Chains A and B, each alone.
Chain A
Amino acid sequence: MQDPRADGPLLTSSEWQAVGASLVVGARAVAVGLPIAVAVAWLLARKRFPGRTLLDAIVHAPLVLPPVVVGYALLLVFGIQGPIGHWLDATLGTRLAFTSAGASLAAGVVAFPMMVRAIRLALEGIDPGLDLAARSLGARSLDRFFTVTFPLALPGIVAAAIVGFAACLGEFGAVITFAASIPGETQTLPLAIYAALQTPGGEQTALKLALVSLGVAVAALLAADALGRWARRWAAR
């Protein structure tokens, strides 16, 4: 992720690399994780099925496990020797461990329960009677989801995306365990800050990256706040 402003007055090219890697890892994790989070949240909020409690527990596990344990578990499953990792390597030639995609997976898994919770709250706030009304008007299941449930849950889904993105940017333990700290690829902002602090004379880089982290976090919080107000207006009408 080379930037044209390499070694500019603000950030050096390697510092830009860390910013770029963070944004790519977070954006990809949210892009892939959000639809799954919507589906899981919908199942948990609206459906009663055997194994629902188990699904709920699995989804929430990364919230209570140390991130390093999550990263280690991912290595066991998605590493070259792991069942899924081996299969991916053999059939598609794709490797996740120690790659940028792997960093997204690790960050996404940790952020996933937060996204599910936000979406589930939004779904549970929708009057289930509206679904019945839509059925009586002839709308079938998918039709109802896209014309009633999804638009009404949209503020919550957007909020979930922002919360998830912010969580991915900040994720450390799971990413470094599963994807290591490869500059320009898996070395996101927190990993770059840590690496800079381990390097003699790296304090200035660490400080700059910390300030960038702060800026990104504040921007995300402001966006979440604005969307929250928009969501409340939406819900009140």
Chain B
Amino acid sequence: MIEFDARTTIGEFRLDVSFHVPEVGTTVLFGSSGAGKSTVLALLAGALRPQSGRVVVGAEVFVDTGRAFHLPLEQRHLGWVFQDGRLFPHLTVRQNLEYGLRRRAPLGAAKIGWQRVLDVLGLGALVNRWPRDLSGGERQRVAIGRALLAQPRLLLMDEPLASLDVPRKREILELLASIGAEFSTPIVYVTHSVAELLRLADHVVLLERGRVAAQGPVAEIVGRGDTPLLAARGDAGAIVEAPIAAQYPERGTTMLTLGDAELQIPHVAGDVGRRVRLHVIASDVILATERPRAISVRNVLAATVSRLASRADGAVNVELALAGAHRLLATVTQEAVRELKLAPGLPVFALLKSVAIDAPAGTRLLEMA
């Protein structure tokens, strides 16, 4: 468990943030710029001291202002990946990678091994080069490798994709999605990109103006109709994770088990039983109070309205509960709410025009459908 509770003031900016997240998987600190994401990360790392608060990771207390205790940054055993890489310019890639390893894992007692990091991050061909000769994506891969080789109990990432171009972003995002599980290292990841949130998050802490606006498992947070930032966006939607039920490569489709129903999606590679993460955009979900017949949409799912949330633009986000504790979000007009008499508890049918397929958990990113 990562227990974070801190208050501090930096100039005019007041931060009062408290969250508890599991010490497994990836926790995304999400918010617009100025929300306090990087400040929270700096407090967690120990680069800043809170005026009051307590930070505990697993069994180790990092900060307890009640006891005037503050563990120095260099003793927290973290890996910190910065937006700009921050490779040491006077050291080769190999020396950069060894910098943390030598200090944290003497006598070859490395849990996260040299060769494995080189293989997973594809750094083998780079070790004898200088940081100045690397591309942006290569630099960021080296920075991630350097942080991993420092044997961190927690990997901190501060918008590591922000300074990369789109193809590099995609490449590094694929890597990031796999390394947390590959090296069983929990990650705290700061971003303002919804795509990165949807791709990487297991847990989400939504920050707004120095406070926590929402926190919880990603499917719970993203599927809510009233979350700040997320719910008001054009691509607001729900995350559904479901196992593959059957493969029909000849038809170009894959069937997923979704509670007591099946969901047909464009073909996704993977064995039966493998979980796939989907992002179902709210404006792609159509609601009906009766099961429609003779319709081209393949996916019609029985659901129950659980909550209505009005958006600032006049539309209404409808939260839907499906069998198997799955959630969906649908955006409809106020007229539709009146005509269909949408209200919590009403059974409806959700028609899915399309789904964005994220990926089978723990594998590479797939094409968007």
Contact = CB atoms under 8 A, between A and B. Distances in A.
A136 B45 contact: yes
A11 B133 CA distance: 52
A129 B88 CA distance: 10
A236 interface: yes
Interface string B58-74: 00000000000000111
Contacts of A147: 99
Interface residues of A, number: 21
B88 A136 contact: no
Contacts of A54: none
* Most B Cβ at <10 Å: residue of A129, A137, A236: A137
Given A137-B100, A137-B103, A137-B104, A234 B74 contact: no
A147 B98 CA distance: 12
B138 to A, nearest CB: 14
A138 to B, nearest CB: 4
A127 to B, nearest CB: 7
Given A132-B47, A133-B80, A237-B130, A138 B100 contact: yes
B150 interface: yes
B114 interface: no
B104 A129 contact: no
B198 interface: no
Secondary structure at chain A's binding surface: helix, strand, loop or mixed? helix
Nearest to A141: B74
Contacts of A148: 88, 90
A133 B86 contact: yes
A234 B130 CA distance: 11
A88 interface: no
Contacts of B77: 138
A129 B89 CA distance: 12
Interface of A: 127, 129-130, 132-140, 143, 147-148, 151-152, 234-237
Interface of B: 45, 47, 72-75, 77-80, 82, 84, 86, 88-90, 99-100, 103-104, 130-133, 146-147, 150, 156
- Ordered nearest first, which 10 A-B pairs have the shortest CB separation? A137-B100, A237-B132, A138-B103, A136-B80, A133-B86, A135-B74, A135-B73, A151-B90, A137-B150, A129-B86
